[in-house]
Structure 1
Amino acid sequence: MKSIINLGKVCAVALFAGTLMTSCNADFLDRPTVGSVDETTYLNSENGGFKLLINCYQPIVNHWDYQQMKFDMGDQLTDDCTKGGSDAADRVVITEVTRGNPTASSSMLLSLWNHRYQSAISACNVFLSLVTPETQLIKDGGALVTTAEKQRWIAEAKFLRAFYYFDLAMMFANVPIIDKPLNAVDKNTITKSDKEEVRKFILSDLDAAIAEANLPSANAIPASDIGRVSKEAALSFRARVKMFFGDYEGAKADLKLVVDGGQFDLINDYQTLFNSAAEGYMSKEAVFITTRAYIPNYTGGSVVPQMCIGRNTTGGWGGECPTTNLVNEYEVGDPRLTHTVMSSGDIFYKGDGVTTETHDYSGYDNLPQQHNRKFWVDYSRRPTGSLMDTDWSFYHIRYADVLLMYAECLIETGGDKQLAVDLINKVRYRAFVTTSPKDKFAQFRKFNVPDDKKVTEEVFNAKYKVKVSDDLRKAVRHERRVELAGEGLRLYDLLRWGTFVSTMQAFSKTKEGIYSGVGSNVTDKTWPYPIPQAEIDYVGGSLTQNDNYN
């Protein structure tokens, strides 16, 4: 388990140590270590404590093992998207898992495990082991960090540890609980905790973060700090965790606090959510998000648009291909289809707004010949023209998700049905009535809503509004699929609804399923997924495999 064992408490963090070249003289053996600092010296340097906190956020910007992995797991292991790629063998590591009987040697599962423990949870553990309310820390400029600020940082680190742990819980269910930095000698003491213990651990971190009075509400976080954890983000995420483990009553209480707090709202046009940094990613709909920016000679954007946009003239690598099965879920006149799925033959404008680019999704592994529109970046946001050099971002939690979670909790607990319907209809009204029926960045889109199919407010009220007498469970599950498609949440929903097996078995019999093999071997023994054998071997057998893969 190299991913969670560190040789020394702070060696996991590169900030703590450095080396300098020395001359070829045996005297260097007798000299003090040059160019290194111990943890006390580091923490007493200006901004040392805050840099440690930044390390807790940093794993989210990992291209492959966090950002792309979100969609590999959440979309491509389901009926929403296939992996795509140059050919069937491209990223076959995903195919092995999507079929439903991955081996314990799966490199995809190992990458996920390693990243969450080695980069993410490890950074949080280092921070929490070194920073307490009593720790003396220095701000930039020399002033001391206040106790209140340190308490806020601790709450953020606990939230983030829970945030990373939940990915492990969702995939593997039963995982080791590591709550402090470990030394190599500790490796043989690592054992697997069961799903219930993991649930309690995740919620204990979230409870502590939410209870911290110094964790600010969203309206107290300035625009310069967007991306940092707020009280509402923590409440919303705790609700997500509770729902996964079946606690709808507990989740309902958290979501009520967020909704009644009135700090968030839906923006008018669904299209804008995915096509603007200022008006989308940083809007009143973003509950928790990691923003990205391309800064020449300093930082690039995300690999996700490059990976998941079409090959050929479009210049992408052809991943994340929405299925026809997903397309068929949309109702006639729903513009969210336009802004979620793009097709071969669609024509987009280039940077001058006049020249066009015709998308051609033929000749590679893309049976539906479709891609995720939420990943396509308009040329005005590509300063170099490259799909890598953009401000593309994705939402961890947005307000539409909060509304639909709240509605679902009301439905599942026998709560106020009219309120549940109102919440669902708030999301649907934005979709059908105020969202652009056409893609403003394109000359032609297959899924643009034609004028004769555009839904007016009158038509919406007559034909599209959900009613209390409807099958509300079916209604909210449909709404989650079409509202959040291509955002990495489908697997989460299928697993907690208990419909993963039946859904994937049905999908495996479709044309797309037969072609790709997705779901072909899914049974009730597929989940939880196997703990990587390399990790079991590394700790000498103290960590055991999940029973369904023994």
Structure 2
Amino acid sequence: MKKLILSAIILTTALSCSKSFLDREPIDRKVDETFYKTPQDALEALTAAYDELQYGDYDNIQLVSEIASDDCFGGGGESDIPWKRWDRFENDNNTNLNNWTKYYTGIYRANIVIAKMDGVNWGADTTLKTRYLAEAHFLRAYYYFDLVRMFGNVPLVTAPLSPGQYNVPQAKPEEVYQLIANDLKFAADKLPSVAYAGIPAGEYGRVTKWAAEALLGRVFLYYTGYYGQTEIAGAVNKQQVRTYIDDVINASGYNLVDTFPRLWQASLSRFAGEDNVETVFAIKFTYKGLGDWNKHDGNRMQVMIGFRNDAVPPYYKGWGAGPVNPKLWAAYEPGDTRRAGSIISVAAENLSYPVIYPQKTNFMWKKYMPMQDLKAEDYNGDFQIDNFYDYVAIRFADVLLMGAELNLDGDLGKAQLYYNRVRDRAFLDQNHRRTLTPDAAGKKLIMDERRVELALEGHRYWDLLRQGIPAAKLAIDNTSTDPQFNVVFRPETKGLFQIPQQEINLSNGSLQQNTGWNQ
């Protein structure tokens, strides 16, 4: 059984994974006894670990967390029940099953790479071994971070399991975060310090030292905020994280694109392009699946947020998920280029869109919206599965705001400098700067800035949770004369998602449901 499972996973090295270095196809079936012998074998196993990044459809964590936040509603049609349940924090036994499966598959594949590298014949040069191990540690951390944020109480698996070992008990969250932080430190310390300008175009999408350092900052801020800690015990403290983030800001070669709207493909001819100087880490997608539903080459989340049923040029069609809350549109200050750069206002853009569906607000995502002139069909793809816009998982502006937050109580001048860079780009002047203070008021300025800078990029829900459950409830609760827009955050869940009931049933008692989700 172990051999068969392993063969299937290596075959899905499908190396249909993505662009450039990931754009490969398997030659034949491979089994444990004859694999993991050469550097090429190691690369194929690593690519299989990367491949899981692309999986996700209606349940993509970026979309789900935006729906769960105060910035979006569920949307979709009458039958799109999961989106409505994420929006309203309602029970649904197996809504989150695909995410649970995705992340543990990715963790399994990363664990395989880590476990098998000593058996590869690397010759005299072990540089590749070090790099592949570092990338695998990053990927394991990335998968675990999404998993533990969503579910909180998850099994901690650090090696490939054999039959009889599958019912692993839930670990304490602090143990999972310690593993994540140590994995990211390993990756950051082992990967080469190649600045952005020196990264070969064929390697865009691969993990870098800077991506590991930046993700460590995100993990630290979430864990210490959500759990009320001052450090990730046994892994990293605040000063160390400041050093990592400062390193990204000062040594990576990444920077801000000159104007905010150019970051997104909706700017069309003005689009700065994928893999631009602001993209610290992106999940790569391509149209090359060409309508094959067995492949996950395309960004399937994009069709979910498209204009429901009909294209509205220059925007393309989809299912109408995640309609934007008008409160987000109103949160932007006059003159902020990020509002029209992030959100489509049907009225402000003088669009004609008479289609009616539940929770329609006439505000939609501009970031990641499929475009009429960049549609999959023009490349012989399927508009449902072959959209090919990369998901920018870590953007340099986010790193600057993390740096500002981390330095707020340490080096206020540095915090102000990082904060100013984001504000100045947003308004295209220096007249909209605000003065940070080393207290709750300064923290609020940074969190407000994160909301409008990173809107619809999958961060808002987690930023609310790390400010405390009362703050999250205050923001997310929504009362309307139209009942379909009534949302009540349930603090008893602590913001955690419902563990799939199927997994609990199969666990022989090793998994317990999160508080607030018991049937």
Q: TM-score, normalised by structure 1?
A: 0.79
Helix, strand or coil at the partner of 1:322: coil
1:473 equivalent to 2:443? Answer: yes
1:62 equivalent to 2:55? Answer: yes
Within 1, Cα distance between the matches of 2:29 and 2:410?
A: 59
Within 2, Cα distance between the matches of 1:170 and 1:75?
A: 14
Helix, strand or coil at the partner of 2:331: coil
1:164 equivalent to 2:140? Answer: no
Within 2, Cα distance between the matches of 1:282 and 1:219?
A: 11
Q: Give the structure 2 partner of residue 241 of structure 1.
A: 219
Helix, strand or coil at the partner of 2:341: coil
Does the C-alpha gap of structure 1 residues 37 and 432 become closer, same or farther in structure 2, counting only changes over 3 Å? Answer: closer
Within 1, Cα distance between the matches of 2:404 and 2:373?
A: 37
Helix, strand or coil at the partner of 2:206: coil
CA contact (8 A) 1:218 1:230 kept: no
Helix, strand or coil at the partner of 1:186: coil
What amino acid maps onto 1:238 in structure 2?
A: L
Q: Give the structure 2 partner of residue 266 of structure 1.
A: 256
Within 2, Cα distance between the matches of 1:101 and 1:296?
A: 35
Shift of 1:283: 0.9
Helix, strand or coil at the partner of 1:42: coil
Within 2, Cα distance between the matches of 1:213 and 1:406?
A: 21
1:184 equivalent to 2:163? Answer: yes
What amino acid maps onto 1:122 in structure 2?
A: Y
Question: After alignment, is 199-208 or 475-484 more displaced?
Answer: 199-208
Within 1, Cα distance between the matches of 2:377 and 2:484?
A: 37
Picking from 456, 473, 480, the partner of 1:504 is: 473
Superposition pairs of residues 143-542 of structure 1, within 5 angstroms? 146-188=125-167, 190-212=168-190, 214=192, 218-246=196-224, 247=231, 248-275=238-265, 279-295=272-288, 297=290, 301-314=298-311, 315-345=317-347, 358-360=351-353, 362-382=355-375, 384-385=377-378, 387-388=383-384, 389-411=386-408, 414-433=409-428, 457=429, 460-461=430-431, 464-468=432-436, 471-498=441-468, 500-511=469-480, 514-518=483-487, 520-542=488-510
Within 2, Cα distance between the matches of 1:530 and 1:278?
A: 38
Question: After alignment, is 388-397 or 399-408 more displaced?
Answer: 388-397
Picking from 95, 111, 128, the partner of 1:108 is: 95
Shift of 1:222: 0.8
Shift of 1:513: 8.6
Does the C-alpha gap of structure 1 residues 326 and 77 become closer, same or farther in structure 2, counting only changes over 3 Å? Answer: same
Shift of 1:38: 3.0
Picking from 9, 12, 15, the partner of 2:11 is: 15
Within 2, Cα distance between the matches of 1:530 and 1:316?
A: 27
**Structure 2 spans left out of the alignment, 5+ residues:** 15-27, 225-230, 232-237, 312-316
Does the C-alpha gap of structure 1 residues 312 and 135 become closer, same or farther in structure 2, counting only changes over 3 Å? Answer: closer
**Deviation string for 1:503-548 (max 9, x for gaps)?**
4345434328942343x15124343333323212212112333355
Structure of higher CA gyration radius: 1
**Deviation string for 1:82-115 (max 9, x for gaps)?**
121123x41x123223323535x2x222221111
What amino acid maps onto 2:389 in structure 1?
A: W
CA contact (8 A) 1:78 1:504 kept: no
Shift of 1:278: 7.8
- Percent identical pairs in the alignment equals 28
Superposition pairs of residues 109-124 of structure 1, within 5 angstroms? 109-117=96-104, 119-124=105-110
Within 2, Cα distance between the matches of 1:77 and 1:222?
A: 38
C-alpha RMSD of matched pairs (Å) = 3.0
Shift of 1:230: 0.6
**Deviation string for 1:123-182 (max 9, x for gaps)?**
1112222222x5216xxxxxx694111110011001000000001111112211111121
CA contact (8 A) 1:172 1:528 kept: yes
Does the C-alpha gap of structure 1 residues 512 and 196 become closer, same or farther in structure 2, counting only changes over 3 Å? Answer: farther
What amino acid maps onto 1:515 in structure 2?
A: Q
Within 2, Cα distance between the matches of 1:239 and 1:219?
A: 23
CA contact (8 A) 2:479 2:485 kept: no
What amino acid maps onto 1:80 in structure 2?
A: D
CA contact (8 A) 1:273 1:279 kept: yes
Helix, strand or coil at the partner of 1:326: helix
Shift of 1:36: 5.4
Question: After alignment, is 232-241 or 44-53 more displaced?
Answer: 44-53
Q: How many residues align?
A: 475
What amino acid maps onto 2:139 in structure 1?
A: L
Does the C-alpha gap of structure 1 residues 36 and 261 become closer, same or farther in structure 2, counting only changes over 3 Å? Answer: closer
**Deviation string for 1:356-410 (max 9, x for gaps)?**
xx45163112331221001224444236356454431221101000000110111
Helix, strand or coil at the partner of 1:255: helix
Does the C-alpha gap of structure 1 residues 80 and 509 become closer, same or farther in structure 2, counting only changes over 3 Å? Answer: closer
Helix, strand or coil at the partner of 1:384: helix
Does the C-alpha gap of structure 1 residues 54 and 325 become closer, same or farther in structure 2, counting only changes over 3 Å? Answer: same
Q: Give the structure 2 partner of residue 130 of structure 1.
A: 116
Within 1, Cα distance between the matches of 2:465 and 2:132?
A: 32
Question: After alignment, is 210-219 or 417-426 more displaced?
Answer: 210-219
**Deviation string for 1:409-443 (max 9, x for gaps)?**
112xx12223222211211111111xxxxxxxxxx
CA contact (8 A) 1:136 1:145 kept: no
Question: After alignment, is 94-103 or 309-318 more displaced?
Answer: 94-103
Shift of 1:11: 4.1
What amino acid maps onto 2:86 in structure 1?
A: V
**Structure 1 spans left out of the alignment, 5+ residues:** 19-34, 138-143, 349-357, 434-456
Does the C-alpha gap of structure 1 residues 422 and 302 become closer, same or farther in structure 2, counting only changes over 3 Å? Answer: same
Helix, strand or coil at the partner of 1:328: helix
Shift of 1:340: 1.1
Within 1, Cα distance between the matches of 2:484 and 2:239?
A: 41
Within 2, Cα distance between the matches of 1:383 and 1:359?
A: 23
CA contact (8 A) 1:78 1:491 kept: yes
Q: Give the structure 1 partner of residue 22 of structure 2.
A: none
CA contact (8 A) 1:120 1:161 kept: yes
Helix, strand or coil at the partner of 2:510: coil
Does the C-alpha gap of structure 1 residues 361 and 40 become closer, same or farther in structure 2, counting only changes over 3 Å? Answer: farther
Within 1, Cα distance between the matches of 2:136 and 2:66?
A: 27
